[in-house]
Chains A and B, each alone.
Chain A
């Protein structure tokens, strides 16, 4: 599928490589973002699931120059990047939506916990708020739409899922995902640079631990 490009204001653009949650596609987006960040005039490139948002300085490059650089870069054979760091994250599966989610998915709570903690997830991107990693793909058997009414306050450390995604809330924020449990491991590391435990391309494995 050929890429599509649109302006995003007058100093950024969005390029879309596909429309699915897919590990290989996301890896291509990250490789493209890294290659673009090496170009002069590119200030920052943000890889989404299947897109890259490129922030540029119009005094040093142009929309059309970046667009043609993208086409050229995408013709090159994709290089396999290093696989990211593996994080083992202990989770107490005692979240307020655990029982309801299991019921909606027509399974028992232990089945849900086993399914959710089995895969090694990929960090597709970090965004929304500092340190929030979008993890996936989630097993198809766990796909649930977001909560109809989002919570106004989700505690930091909440492990949650929605659609094909799972993640950990790094800060107390509003949120519409289903809360399955909690981890004590801090996700937002304000004294570090980067200030996020999880980085794009990293891998995450959840480990159920007994509730104290």
Chain B
């Protein structure tokens, strides 16, 4: 237990090194798609929700999403932190700390990262949740319009981070989520997926190829979506009247190479939607880097929803 929890009126962390692309994210701003605003939020929602629970926050609190490299954060006040998602070798003052665990960070010590071992995005939660500017009900940073989070931008050296509110009490370090309860992360995941509205427009051989092939994540992969490279899929290319989209939708543009939509996806589009990746599988996709591979494994709506309940149950183990 920490005797004196951090004061939300004062900065709790100072950014000494920002990392490559570190943004404040919560679970997003659904409900504004009809005005063209994507839900945004953590790419790996499981990892952020787990990090929050590990420090006693509601799952919806804001934390940091760090792509490829982690930041160096100096504690200005003592706090409780948890690092989840990708493994970038988290350390406190040089000594490695366990991931997926609530850890006490004393004032004057530094949380930093010694290098990427696995994965694309790691998450840092702080007891009390990170503050920032709320846009349309969410603290998630949406870089395209420079709104939400820390001044609508990626973190920079010298930034001071405040808590959203007082840390929940008592602060308990040592909460942990075991490996068996984490998603089945890997460098070549099979994503539980449903056929999409325009799947039957694919040529027969392409329907088989969609399920049997592996696709590589191309260099064109960001928070909006991943362009995939794989077998040429035939029959989707024609443009349709634009429809409302969602994260996990797989579009097939002219050219036959699919796009998997992610958190900052465009809210409407006219390319055929051939597949829909399930909610439980999106965290696996969120941890892929260009060059990693994936495949699509057909599931029913009921089976996908059952997998999601399993995911929820794993999160609820953290209490």
- Interface residues of chain A, those whose CB is within 8 Å of chain B, are 6-12, 14, 16, 19-21, 33, 43-44, 46-53, 55, 58, 63, 125-132, 134, 170-171, 188, 190, 193-196, 199-200
Question: Is the CB–CB distance between A52 and B244 below 8 Å?
Answer: yes
The interface centre, meaning the residue of B34, B147, B240 with most chain A CB atoms within 10 A of its CB, is: B34
The interface centre, meaning the residue of B35, B273, B278, B308 with most chain A CB atoms within 10 A of its CB, is: B35
Instruction: Tell which of A51, A129, A134 touches B144, judged by Cβ atoms closer than 8 Å.
Output: A129
Binds A, one of B121-129, B177-185, B245-253: B245-253
CB-contacts of B254-294 with A (<8 A): 266-269, 273, 276-280
Question: Is the CB–CB distance between A48 and B268 below 8 Å?
Answer: yes
Instruction: Tell which of B35, B240, B249, B267 touches A8, judged by Cβ atoms closer than 8 Å.
Output: B249
Question: Is the CB–CB distance between B241 and A49 below 8 Å?
Answer: yes
Question: Is the CB–CB distance between B35 and A196 below 8 Å?
Answer: yes
Question: Is the CB–CB distance between A6 and B268 below 8 Å?
Answer: no
Question: Is the CB–CB distance between B268 and A8 below 8 Å?
Answer: no
- Give the residues in chain A near B268, CB-CB below 8 Å: 46, 48, 125, 127-128, 134
CA distance A44 to B135 in the complex (A): 18
CA distance A206 to B171 in the complex (A): 59
Minimum CB–CB distance from A177 to chain B (whole Å) comes to 12
Binds A, one of B7-15, B25-33, B55-63, B85-93: B25-33
Q: Do A63 and B301 contact each other (CB < 8 Å), given the known contacts A51-B241, A53-B245, A125-B268? A: yes
- Give the residues in chain A near B240, CB-CB below 8 Å: 19
Question: Is the CB–CB distance between A14 and B243 below 8 Å?
Answer: yes
Q: Do A49 and B246 contact each other (CB < 8 Å), given the known contacts A9-B277, A10-B301, A199-B35? A: no
Interface size on B, residues (CB 8 A): 40
Ordered by A's residue number, 6 sampled pairs between the chains whose C-beta atoms are within 8 Å are A8-B273, A9-B279, A10-B278, A10-B305, A14-B243, A43-B31
- Give the residues in chain B near A200, CB-CB below 8 Å: 34
CA distance A171 to B266 in the complex (A): 13
Question: Is the CB–CB distance between A44 and B196 below 8 Å?
Answer: no
Instruction: Tell which of B35, B196, B301 touches A194, judged by Cβ atoms closer than 8 Å.
Output: B35
Q: Do A9 and B276 contact each other (CB < 8 Å), given the known contacts A53-B244, A193-B136? A: yes
Considering the complex, give the chain B residue whose CB is closest to the CB of A43. Answer: B30
Considering the complex, give the chain A residue whose CB is closest to the CB of B242. Answer: A48
B165 sits at the interface (CB 8 A): no
Q: Do A171 and B278 contact each other (CB < 8 Å), given the known contacts A49-B242, A128-B269, A195-B136? A: no
Q: Do A10 and B35 contact each other (CB < 8 Å), given the known contacts A21-B241, A51-B244? A: no
Q: Do A125 and B242 contact each other (CB < 8 Å), given the known contacts A9-B194, A44-B33? A: yes
